[in-house]
């Protein structure tokens, strides 16, 4: 797994397009939100900014780049060749996704740390970490499921768009409007409960036991995504 991950990391830094889309662009957008935190906090809260940063990086940097990577490796038969080695299926997929996941987590940690310094620190850092990890797991699961529907790296630009726009839009909707109305709908949508959990972890004012319940919808999406991936993921191009 680690040798596959090392190879994949080298490919990321060699491919300028992937480097820009997976690292520079999400970081630049997130940095803008942090730089203008007073404006966006007036619209929602600091927790809302943290949620938008998280979903921008995890959707654009992690999810989209992972789908593109898996589609590319399938198209050039690299996935098929890897299956002829001693590495198991889980180890192959983990190795291919590990670099993008680590890069995304580091970016999220750095930008949220900067946000805490320039604005205010989160009320419950441990709860915030749980929310981040659950969201990253959800986006990785959705990436695996979407990769099963994606025939090529070019096709990934189309297949990833609904999820990218969806989770960022839901995060903005929940972060700005709260969950006092349409509570169940907002929490069941992908990213809705995670956004509420992040805002509560950052802004405070909610009991930890009540906040932890919000992990359930996000983890449920992980289960659903993995189940879909197990049925739809292909190791060879369609003939």
Per-residue pLDDT, 6: 85
Q: What's this model's pTM, rounded to 2 decimal places?
A: 0.91
pLDDT at position 63 over 70: yes
pLDDT at position 22 over 80: no
Mean pLDDT on 48-57: 92
Per-residue pLDDT, 239: 59
Residue 39 vs residues 35, 43, 111: alpha-carbon distances, Å = 9, 7, 17
Placement of tokens 């850092």 in the chain: 125
Q: What percent of the chain has pLDDT over 90?
A: 47
Rounded to an integer, what is the distance from CA 27 to the centroid of its chain?
A: 13
What confidence tens digit (pLDDT) does each residue in 170-223 have?
A: 999 999 998 888 989 999 999 999 999 999 999 887 778 788 899 999 999 999
Per-residue pLDDT, 20: 74
Label residue 65 exposed, middle or buried (CB < 10 Å: 0-12, 13-18, 19+).
buried
Mean pLDDT on 89-111: 90
Placement of tokens 């999406």 in the chain: 221
Confirm if 196 and 186 have CB atoms less than 8 A apart. yes
Read off φ and ψ for residue 205, nearest 5 degrees. 90, 0
Per-residue pLDDT, 210: 80
Confidence label for 126 from pLDDT (cuts 50, 70 and 90): very high
Per-residue pLDDT, 204: 84
Mean pLDDT over the full length of the chain: 88
Mean pLDDT on 6-29: 77
């Amino acid at each position: 797994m680690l040798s596959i991950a090392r190879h994949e990391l080298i490919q990321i830094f060699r491919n300028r397009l992937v480097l820009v889309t997976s690292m520079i662009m999400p970081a630049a957008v997130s940095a803008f939100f942090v730089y203008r935190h007073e404006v966006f906090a007036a619209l929602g809260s600091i927790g809302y900014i943290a949620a938008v940063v998280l979903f921008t990086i995890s959707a654009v940097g992690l999810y989209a780049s992972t789908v593109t990577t898996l589609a590319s490796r399938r198209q050039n038969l690299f996935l098929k060749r890897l299956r002829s080695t001693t590495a198991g299926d889980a180890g192959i997929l983990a190795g291919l996704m590990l670099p993008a996941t680590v890069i995304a987590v580091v970016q999220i940690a750095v930008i949220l740390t900067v946000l805490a310094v320039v604005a205010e620190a989160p009320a419950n850092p441990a709860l915030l970490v749980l929310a981040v990890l659950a969201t990253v797991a959800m986006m990785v699961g959705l990436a695996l499921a979407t990769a099963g529907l994606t025939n090529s790296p070019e096709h990934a630009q189309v297949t990833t768009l609904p999820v990218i726009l969806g989770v960022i839009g839901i995060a903005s909707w929940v972060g700005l409007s709260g969950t006092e109305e349409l509570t169940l709908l907002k929490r069941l949508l992908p990213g809705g409960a995670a956004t509420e959990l992040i805002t509560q972890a950052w802004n405070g004012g909610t009991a930890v036991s009540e906040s932890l319940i919000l992990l359930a919808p996000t983890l449920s999406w992980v289960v659903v995504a993995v189940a879909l991936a197990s049925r739809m993921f292909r190791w060879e191009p369609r003939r």
